[in-house]
Chain A
Amino acid sequence: MALIYDALVQSAQLALVLALAPLLTGYIRKIKAQLLRRRGPPLLQPYRDLLKLIRKEAVLAENASWIFRSAPYLIFATTLTAAALVPTFATGLVFSSAADLIAIVALLGTARFALALAGLDVGTSFGGIGASREMMIASLAEPAMLMIVFTLSLLAGSTQLSSVAAFVQGPEIGLRVSLAMALVALVIVAIAENARIPVDNPATHLELTMVHEAMILEYSGRHLAVIEMAASLKLLLYFSLIGCMFTPWGLATAGAGFVAYAIGAVSYVAKLAAGGFLLAVFETATAKMRVFRVSDFLGAALMLGLLGALLLFVSQSA
């Protein structure tokens, strides 16, 4: 009985992230439009786009292989699994023992691997440019992310997200320099990983500095819909991650009642709204970087993460 209840809560989380992901994308677009004094598309536009895409015919390049056709599903599956494992409204879900933070980062790595291969599959110059730059960005963003994981798990004594959230909620946390460094680094990594300004531009298809959009340039129809959904999920995942690790207030613990879960869900949506607003303001206020400046930007994140971890190594004596 308890297992069924746990499974229900886990499914609720799964449904929540699936339902909210396009809405978050639409919300950020709306805010960005309004900051530019445009009216902007309606909030539900991403859902309509997805529906329209899956009803359209898919066009495949002549020499696209099975990698190109199956990559969207693999990307979607790994991203959804990772998103389902990050606590949104409650910690200690039934599957949370399957993967800790390191495994979640690696799952996103699998998705990126598949996407980069799909970019190379057709053999066009744009696909190659995107894949090559994506892997360059990842080669700095992934170690930076792992250094952030190190910092948090050294503090909390655990790489499980639930334990980290419980520690940050707890009394012995205090204000710590390492945590601040990790937060800044995580924000930089999140911006880079989700192809946002200033690293990449999610709104353009015809710019030579593009990364993510270049890799998916050949996709159309239902395949594109699956990839767009996965991209929205990934953005949501990073918001959940920041929310769970740095602002875990309102998170329900495992086995709490319905009311606690409802509070958790409301506070989660509030966090998403606040985070999305900040991202939109930041993106509007920033200019896109040259691609070879990105390494400096991400190098800063890596250094911050390393410094944060190092401070903890030094301050924790036996």
Chain B
Amino acid sequence: MALTVLLSCVAVLLGTSALAVAGARRSVTTVFVYSVALLVGAAALAAAGAFLVTIAESAETMKLPIGLPWLGAHFRLDALSALFLVVINLGSFTSSLYGLGYGRHEPSPGRVLPFFPAFLAGMNLVVLADDAFTFLLTWEFMSLTSWALVMAHHREHDNAKAAYIYLVMASFGTLALLLAFGLLAGPDGGYAFDAMRSAAPSPGLSAAVLALVLIGAGSKAGLVPLHVWLPLAHPAAPSHVSALMSGVMTKVAVYGFVRIVFDLLGPPQWWWGAVVLMLGGISAVLGVLYALMQHDLKRLLAYHTVENIGIIFIGLGLALAFQGNAMRTAAALALTAALFHVFNHSVFKSLLFFGAGAVLGATGERDMERLGGLIHRMPLTAIAFLAGSTAISALPPFNGFVSEWLTFQAILLSPQLPQWLLKFLVPAVGAMLALSAALAAGCFVKAFGATFLGRARSSVTQSAQETDAYSLAAMFILVLLCLIAGILPGYFIDALAPVTRQLLDAQLPLQAQLKWLTIVPIAADRSSYNGLLLFVLVATAGWFGAYVIHRWASHALRRSAAWDCGFPDASPATQYTAGSFAQPIRRVFGTLVFRAREQVYMPAPGQTQPAQFHLSMRDLVWDYLYAPVEGVVGFVADHLNKVQSWTIRAYLSLVFSSVVLLLMVLAVWH
């Protein structure tokens, strides 16, 4: 039943996409497309949510006679796909709502409207697919539609380059997944997921599949060092699409990883966990350090996606390590933490991109060095962005803290792991997680402070106005979700229990019935957290403080010029910028990680030239990994270019010799 509803939703989305092509020139199309996407998103969200909460134990399957003639298209709805469908359709619901307002200012709607519902349909289909062919086809469909959306503003500086890099990386990732499925299907070509589940791959084969999946799904999710396309492509798209790509599409990639590694690949080895943990830890720290160095608001948010994907993979790696040692409850805790963070990140990252989109729409500016003081002009957007910043910085009482807290609890269970590598690795990864959480708080003080606080740094903010009601509604729905998931995490953890049961055959104790809605993942004397009580305590303490002050303190209040130690400077240029805010952190971490070098030129006394400051930074991942590959490809292409101007005789002899060579290979093979 639920599966039928979901597939009908997808069909409606695809139909809307076709209609949007036809009517792209009319202004009513914008309202039509986003309204349909909104309703479909709500219906799919309801169907998937109801399935997850009520009947998640039994899977629904369906086979449609499309696709390969001897295979058909298999679809399946189980707890895991239902969870990710909730994430996808929550994102599509809110971004369609946001699009109703934001999309009106779209300069070229014909380049956005047809692809937007198609992109949503593609993401839904990936999660529903139950055979390798359908999965890969819809995965590639998702990549191509999102690529088209990245190209929507193709005349803007650097967008075409970003889209090109995205296309190359996406193709490379799909190739890796294709090979992974080829290995899983075996020589008999069992492309249905059921056949792969029942097959038992040899250890060497599963290792190869793991590596390929890490490349394929990891490049889409943005794991370091495969992240380079992400901070270029995500900000280039229109903001509600950026929210979908960063908040939701990376989660589809996480789904691909979980589906293949936890579900299809059979029982895990402990060292898989070690590999995933390492990649996750490195992504978390490098992602946030890159983010701190940015002054483009949307690119900063995109780098934070890299960080949060790292945190999710830390949880997944722990789950694999525990499961490889048959520690099922611990594995369930780690997986719950990872999946909860999947949900949380999709919520607050969409929220933050919506906020950045509102700023962009109001000022036409993404560069934080030219913003400032927007809290006076866009007070509601400022509140929403502040809530999102608090949530992503893992601060209580918002939701980001709860999932990181659960990850820490899982890390604290790991001394029982017998392998020495893990004993050294896990505390180091724990330190990296703590470091990334602390740096994220710094980064969002910078992002919020430079954009919304202080004084305006340029004239672009002078005409800024509060964004429209649809956008605000979308943002405040997400603010509310951030708060609810942070205050009442027990219900959300319980909703994840069917997924851990399905994948690991274990689950956390049910949380919602516990006294005062405390969450207790393992045992009460070990650790517990009560977001609701904490929220009430903080609110009461704040009220108490305000009451005492209100009752007994002087009410006199005077507005005056800033004190600034007696030397207030009228120019806004004297205040801290995003770049100067990050300077101490750049000096502490960046000299090593980015080879950041500062050069100061001070003219001698009496001379009148201006002082100069030069900063140089290098992206070592690009310089040492991608630049050589780029160089080799360029070299080969340059030399193969000569082939183009060969004579017809030379072509014929080339064809002939290739055929002979291939026949000889075949003869030797048999």
Q: CB within 8 Å of B: which residues of A?
A: 54-63, 65-67, 73-74, 76-78, 80-81, 84, 95, 97-100, 102-103, 106-107, 109-110, 112-113, 116-117, 120-129, 131-133, 135-136, 138-143, 146-147, 150, 153-154, 157-160, 163, 205-206, 217-218, 220-222, 225-226, 291-292, 295, 302, 305-306, 309-310, 312-314, 316-318
User: B492 at interface (Cβ–Cβ under 8 A)?
Assistant: no
Stretch from B100-108, B219-227, B578-586 contacting the other chain: B578-586
Q: Is the CB of A120 within 8 A of B441?
A: no
- Residues on B with C-beta less than 8 A from A74 are 538, 542
In the bound complex, CA of A147 to CA of B429 (Å)? 11
User: B442 at interface (Cβ–Cβ under 8 A)?
Assistant: yes
Contact of A125 among B418, B563, B575 (CB under 8 A): B575
In the bound complex, CA of A150 to CA of B587 (Å)? 28
User: B141 at interface (Cβ–Cβ under 8 A)?
Assistant: no
In the bound complex, CA of A225 to CA of B550 (Å)? 13
Q: Is the CB of B396 within 8 A of A103?
A: yes
Q: Is the CB of A314 within 8 A of B424?
A: yes
- Residues on A with C-beta less than 8 A from B502 are none
User: B629 at interface (Cβ–Cβ under 8 A)?
Assistant: no
Q: Is the CB of A65 within 8 A of B576?
A: no
In the bound complex, CA of A291 to CA of B408 (Å)? 31
Q: Is the CB of B409 within 8 A of A159?
A: yes
Q: Is the CB of A73 within 8 A of B546?
A: yes
In the bound complex, CA of A291 to CA of B588 (Å)? 11
User: B438 at interface (Cβ–Cβ under 8 A)?
Assistant: yes
Return the CB mask of B418-454 against A: 1 if under 8 Å, else 0.
1010011011101100110111011011101110011
Q: Is the CB of A117 within 8 A of B537?
A: no
In the bound complex, CA of A306 to CA of B434 (Å)? 11
Residue of B nearest to A310 (CB): B427
In the bound complex, CA of A135 to CA of B396 (Å)? 17
Once A76-B542, A306-B428 are accepted as A-B contacts, the answer to whether A120 and B445 lie under 8 Å apart by CB is: yes
A231 CB, nearest partner CB in chain B, Å: 14
Kindly list 6 other residue pairs between chains A and B, CB separation below 8 angstroms, not including A110-B395, A123-B454, A217-B563.
A57-B554, A84-B541, A131-B449, A135-B581, A150-B430, A310-B428
In the bound complex, CA of A253 to CA of B442 (Å)? 38
User: B568 at interface (Cβ–Cβ under 8 A)?
Assistant: yes
Can you list 18 A-B pairs with a CB-CB distance of less than 8 A?
Answer: A57-B556, A58-B556, A77-B542, A97-B518, A106-B401, A109-B438, A113-B441, A127-B576, A129-B576, A135-B442, A139-B442, A142-B437, A154-B415, A160-B525, A217-B564, A221-B553, A221-B554, A318-B416
Majority secondary structure, A binding face: helix
B227 CB, nearest partner CB in chain A, Å: 21
Q: Is the CB of A124 within 8 A of B415?
A: no
Q: Is the CB of B545 within 8 A of A98?
A: no
Return the CB mask of B487-530 against A: 1 if under 8 Å, else 0.
00000000000000000000000000000101000001111111
In the bound complex, CA of A53 to CA of B584 (Å)? 33
Q: Is the CB of B560 within 8 A of A113?
A: no
Once A226-B545, A291-B584 are accepted as A-B contacts, the answer to whether A314 and B534 lie under 8 Å apart by CB is: no
In the bound complex, CA of A150 to CA of B413 (Å)? 11
Residue of B nearest to A154 (CB): B415
Residue of B nearest to A291 (CB): B584
- Residues on B with C-beta less than 8 A from A150 are 411-412, 427, 430
A77 CB, nearest partner CB in chain B, Å: 3
Q: Is the CB of B529 within 8 A of A60?
A: no
User: B375 at interface (Cβ–Cβ under 8 A)?
Assistant: yes
Contact of A61 among B437, B537, B560 (CB under 8 A): B560
- Residues on B with C-beta less than 8 A from A113 are 390, 393, 395, 441, 444-445
Contact of A62 among B445, B525, B526, B561 (CB under 8 A): B561
- Residues on A with C-beta less than 8 A from B194 are none
Majority secondary structure, B binding face: helix
Return the CB mask of B534-568 against A: 1 if under 8 Å, else 0.
10011111101110010011101111111111001
Return the CB mask of B360-389 against A: 1 if under 8 Å, else 0.
000000000000110110000000001000
- Residues on B with C-beta less than 8 A from A78 are 538, 541
Q: Is the CB of A95 within 8 A of B412?
A: no
- Residues on B with C-beta less than 8 A from A109 are 393-395, 438, 441
- Residues on A with C-beta less than 8 A from B418 are 317-318
Once A113-B445, A131-B445 are accepted as A-B contacts, the answer to whether A121 and B453 lie under 8 Å apart by CB is: yes
- Within 562-602 of B, Cβ neighbours of A (below 8 Å) are at 562-565, 568-569, 572, 574-576, 580-585, 587-588
Q: Is the CB of A63 within 8 A of B373?
A: yes
Q: Is the CB of A97 within 8 A of B528?
A: yes
In the bound complex, CA of A128 to CA of B545 (Å)? 27
The total of chain B residues at the interface (CB under 8 A) is 93
User: B35 at interface (Cβ–Cβ under 8 A)?
Assistant: no
In the bound complex, CA of A206 to CA of B437 (Å)? 32
Q: Is the CB of A95 within 8 A of B533?
A: yes
User: B417 at interface (Cβ–Cβ under 8 A)?
Assistant: yes
A220 CB, nearest partner CB in chain B, Å: 8
In the bound complex, CA of A60 to CA of B516 (Å)? 41
In the bound complex, CA of A67 to CA of B561 (Å)? 17
Q: Is the CB of B541 within 8 A of A77?
A: yes
In the bound complex, CA of A219 to CA of B414 (Å)? 46
B440 CB, nearest partner CB in chain A, Å: 9
Contact of A123 among B529, B534, B575 (CB under 8 A): B575
Contact of A126 among B427, B524, B564, B583 (CB under 8 A): B564
Q: Is the CB of A102 within 8 A of B405?
A: yes
In the bound complex, CA of A66 to CA of B556 (Å)? 17
User: B455 at interface (Cβ–Cβ under 8 A)?
Assistant: yes
Contact of B524 among A97, A99, A306 (CB under 8 A): A97
In the bound complex, CA of A145 to CA of B499 (Å)? 33
- Residues on A with C-beta less than 8 A from B560 are 59-62
In the bound complex, CA of A66 to CA of B376 (Å)? 9
Q: Is the CB of A159 within 8 A of B558?
A: no
Once A116-B449, A138-B438, A158-B525 are accepted as A-B contacts, the answer to whether A131 and B412 lie under 8 Å apart by CB is: no
In the bound complex, CA of A306 to CA of B431 (Å)? 7
Residue from B420, B445, B454, B561 having most chain A Cβ neighbours under 10 A:
B445
Q: Is the CB of A73 within 8 A of B412?
A: no
Residue from B418, B424, B449 having most chain A Cβ neighbours under 10 A:
B449
Q: Is the CB of A55 within 8 A of B375?
A: no
Q: Is the CB of A123 within 8 A of B412?
A: no
- Residues on A with C-beta less than 8 A from B539 are 77
- Residues on A with C-beta less than 8 A from B409 are 159
Q: Is the CB of B534 within 8 A of A217?
A: no
- Residues on A with C-beta less than 8 A from B373 are 63, 123
Q: Is the CB of B438 within 8 A of A125?
A: no
- Residues on A with C-beta less than 8 A from B541 are 76-78, 80-81, 84
- Residues on A with C-beta less than 8 A from B427 are 147, 150, 306, 309-310, 313
Q: Is the CB of A59 within 8 A of B558?
A: yes
